[in-house]
Copies of this chain bind each other. A is one copy, B any other.
Amino acid sequence: MSTTPEPTHGAAASTKAVRAYFAELQDRICDAMAEIDGTPFDSREIHNNRGGIGRPRVLKDGPVFEQAAVNVTFARGDHLPPAASKRKPELAGRAFEAASISVIAHPRNPHAPTSHANLRFFRAAPSGSSAEPAWWFGGGFDLTPYYGYAEDAYHWHSSAQDAVQAFGSDLYPRFKEQCDEYFYLPHRQEPRGIGGLFFDDLSELAEDGANSDVPEETQFDRCWALTRSVGDHLLPAYMPIVERRHKTSYTERERRFQLLRRGRYVEFNLIHDRGTRYGLQAGARTESVLASLPPNVSWEYDFTPEPGSAEAALLSEFLTARDWLAEPLPTAMTE
């Protein structure tokens, strides 16, 4: 950020650390996915003329992943777009820098779920010479199964809880609820998937059970540690499920249902997703932004799953914003 002196401590010093972590996490995730798939990622580094860097990595047409996209971007600009912060509209228009990582994996096998994760860090320049820059984190991860498995849902949500539990026992229920609210298609009155974690505008984390007055540096450290913990929990949350499901034999009917459900995924991303719409409107590289879309998709007019089928159970038992860690597992689709 050219308008601020080189940071030496606290939140400001840590932009470098955030960028380093996102780059390392990208390597770690791509390595794990390329290893199980046997297909390398196409990796690029694209510099724009405003000092921004995009590092799209995409695995296409693999035996395990029909597509996987792991993108890291470092952006800076003179005017923070209003869409960047919902809670702090007064920051819009300031000089800013941003770092983000997004992960989308679309397995080929209909029994293996699609996963999505995103972590982001924003820092806006101070408005006066003495004020500290404002900063915040956002992110989370969510799962979109095509065929529901209660043990997968339980494992996913346990991992989500594990990721944030040490930072406050209220966080998992709060972030889970925010995830259910965000990944929802109002025009279908359907959740996109079974959720996970979603947080935004995070720059304060109370000590568990107390609203103590903590210095900002400690707040940064705590929010940053939580964000890393969410990043670190993605592979342990997702890969065991992929390993369990990617060799399951499947029928044409199951493949067809997967393609139809992927249609919902496209609808969500193109109609509702703030990140996708913002990326397209802000002039980001379209191929990087839309690498989140599944490679093959179908729509069928007035499709309704057969009552009592596994396809119907996905909607009635899984896409219901249920509390996976509190309730007994549904008997449908458990193994």
Contacts and interface: CB of A to CB of B under 8 A. Distances in A.
Interface of A: 42, 58, 60, 67, 69, 187-188, 259, 263, 266-267, 270-271, 277, 280-281, 286-287, 289-291, 293-302
B271 A58 contact: no
B286 A293 contact: no
Given A295-B301, A297-B299, 13 more contacts: A42-B301, A58-B302, A69-B301, A187-B289, A266-B270, A267-B270, A271-B277, A295-B298, A295-B299, A295-B300, A296-B297, A296-B298, A297-B297
A286 B299 CA distance: 12
Contacts of A270: 266-267, 270-271
B301 A294 contact: no
Contacts of A296: 259, 296-298
A302 B271 contact: no
6 tightest A-B CB contacts, nearest first: A270-B270, A187-B280, A293-B299, A58-B301, A297-B297, A187-B286
Contacts of A60: 300-301
Contacts of A259: 296
A165 B184 CA distance: 47
Stoichiometry, as copies per complex, reads 2
A133 to B, nearest CB: 31
A270 B281 CA distance: 14
A271 B266 contact: no
Given A187-B280, A280-B187, A297-B297, A287 B302 contact: yes
A301 B287 contact: yes
A68 to B, nearest CB: 10
A58 to B, nearest CB: 5
A58 B299 CA distance: 13
Nearest to A281: B187
Contact of A294 (B280, B289, B293, B299): B299
A277 to B, nearest CB: 7
A271 B280 contact: yes
19 contacts: A58-B302, A60-B300, A187-B280, A187-B286, A187-B289, A188-B286, A259-B296, A266-B266, A266-B297, A267-B270, A267-B290, A270-B271, A271-B277, A287-B301, A291-B301, A293-B299, A295-B299, A295-B301, A296-B296
Contacts of A287: 301-302
A270 B264 CA distance: 12
A291 B263 CA distance: 12
A67 B303 CA distance: 14
A280 B267 CA distance: 11
Contacts of A266: 266, 270, 297
